Amino acid sequence: MTETQACIALNMVPNLGPVRLRKLRDAIGSPEAILRAPKSRLRQIDGIGPELTDAIGDWEKTVDLAAELARVEEFGARVITQQSPEYPPGLRELHNPPIVLYVWGTVTSEDWRAIGVVGSRKTSHYGTECAKKLSYQLAYAGLTVVSGLARGIDTAAHQGALAANGRTIAVIGSGLMDLYPPENAGLAEKIAASGAVVSEFPMTFPPSPQTFPYRNRIVAGWGKGVLVVEAGAKSGALITADQAMEAGRLVYAVPGPIDRPTSFGSNRLIQQGAKLVTSAGDILDDLNSLFPEPRRTAPTAGAAPAGALSAEESAILDALGGDTLAPEQIAEKCGLPFPKVSACLLMLEIKRQVRQLPGRQFLRPAAPLDGSPSPAD
């Protein structure tokens, strides 16, 4: 058994979380040694009760390691451990680091220059727009955007980073073969093609309310800071912000309207000391001291962040004309495939050439935008 295989097997032992696993490693040593340890030795370790002692001692009765390895290979994923060079250095600093990470895609050394972007699942149009534009600017400047693939702010963050042709990492609270939410499967494929979808859970592990706080600590600890775009009073994003502060990370928040429940949590974070963010520059000013050579600067004022319009973008604007249309209607009018129209609409939003209304309706603003402030303003 290799060290990676031993880590996978330990990770599949029921009820063996990262905190108790760290106690085992401190007391016994390598994962292989833990799996071989007699039950009498396991019982001597603080926090390892009789049930967990039996689960570890008899692991081969409950863990089908061969089947798990086959699933990893069939899916096209790979597993990295704390000893792997690809393992994020920030996660090693946590008091409860994941013993393994299942990776669909690629993790590179550039991904240590990262910022977590999180927020509410039930978000406003304002929050979605902020998440897209800030993530676009951060990714454009060379930072990897780390988020949780959830509905709402997470989805917008990944979309913004992809639109900038930047790096983004999706950390999920389930196994790679039980992706949640299921409607983000297409987005996950795009992320894996130019970044990575990552999980600490076995391949078919289902999502549950207990798995998401585990996911959150990875988002919080991966990079040097966390940006909360929009969060209500009980949003899970606030848990991520707390975990980031505990791990010594920087915490940022986008202010929101004081009369909206979706802004209560993010506004409270600012009251408690999180740095108020109105543009990506507020974050880059801090992180440039940690990462002194970003690949690019954020888009500057007065310039469209992604250059001139493509032929497809021009065709979509022509199809819109003065109407308010859904993406399906736009695709029918301009004769472009629906996925292409969706991708172009995101870019046009970032370039401020179209505006999205509630209900996924799009229109062209009445005034030309060539002289308007850029999203970096």
Confidence of residue 302 (pLDDT cuts 50, 70, 90): very low
pLDDT category of residue 375 using cuts at 50, 70 and 90: very low
Position 4 pLDDT exceeds 70: yes
Mean pLDDT of 301-320: 72
Q: What is the pLDDT of residues 57-70, one digit of tens each?
A: 999 999 999 999 99
243-290 tens-digit pLDDT: 999 999 999 999 998 888 889 999 999 999 999 998 888 898 887 655
Lowest mean pLDDT among 205-214, 293-302, 363-372: 293-302
Are 345 and 362 in contact by the 8 Å Cβ rule? The answer is: yes
pLDDT band at 354 (very low <50, low <70, confident <90, very high): confident
Select the more confidently predicted residue: 351 or 115.
115
340 falls in which pLDDT band (50, 70, 90)?
Answer: confident
Sign of the alpha-carbon torsion through 91, 270, 346, 163: negative
Which residues have C-beta within 8 Å of that of residue 193, sequence separation ≥ 6?
Answer: 105
Q: Which domains does the chain have, with CATH numbers?
A: 3-63 (1.10.150), 105-287 (3.40.50.450), 311-363 (1.10.10.10)
Instruction: Name the percent of the chain lying above pLDDT 90.
Output: 64
- Please answer whether residues 102 and 176 qualify as being in contact, where contact means their C-beta atoms are separated by less than 8 angstroms: yes
Q: Residues 65-88: what's their mean pLDDT?
A: 96
Distance CA 32, CA 331 (A): 56
